[in-house]
Structure 1
Amino acid sequence: MSDITWEEPFCGEGNNCFRLGTDADGNGYVAVVGQEDSPITDSLSALRTLILDIKAGKADHLL
């Protein structure tokens, strides 16, 4: 697996914490804090859209 650069954890209500990361190949990653060794991966564009929609309240039930 490529080296992943992780951002600071994002924690929603109820301690639902996850981290976003990227690698040099332009892939994006999402992982639960403490489980960064098994992240969900997709294109950076797809994950950016997902996170922006969550933050906009379109999918707040995911947090």
Structure 2
Amino acid sequence: MTEICWEEPFCGEGNNCFRLGTDADGNAYIAVAGQEGAYLTDTREALSTLIRDIKAGKADHLL
């Protein structure tokens, strides 16, 4: 199994917390904080776009 380097949890309004991670191959991962074993994966570019949209308030309904 690929080793994922998880960042500190990011918590939005209403305690919607998630963690972001990457592996050595450049794959990006996102998981609900505390449930890192059940994650989604995509390219680093796709994850970066998602993060920018969340922080801009465009995708807070996804949390």
Asked if TM exceeds 0.5, the reply is: yes
Counterpart of 1:3 in structure 2 is 3
TM-score (norm 1): 0.92
Listed one character per residue, the Cα deviations across residues 1-60 of structure 1 (whole Å, up to 9, x for unaligned) are: 210000000011111110000000000000001110111000111011011111111112
Query: Aligned pair count?
Result: 63
Counterpart amino acid of residue 13 in structure 2: E
Q: Distance in 1 between matches of 2:4 and 2:46?
A: 17
Unmatched runs of 5 consecutive residues or more in structure 2: none
Scaled by the length of structure 2, the TM-score of the pair is 0.92
**1:23 counterpart residue number:** 23
The percentage of aligned residue pairs carrying the same residue is: 76
Question: Post-superposition, which runs of at least 4 consecutive aligned residues in structure 1 deviate over 2 A?
Answer: none
> Alignment RMSD, CA only?
0.9
How do 1:15-54 residues align onto structure 2 when only pairs under 5 Å count? 15-54=15-54
Aligned partners of 1:44, 1:2: CA distance in 2, in Å? 15
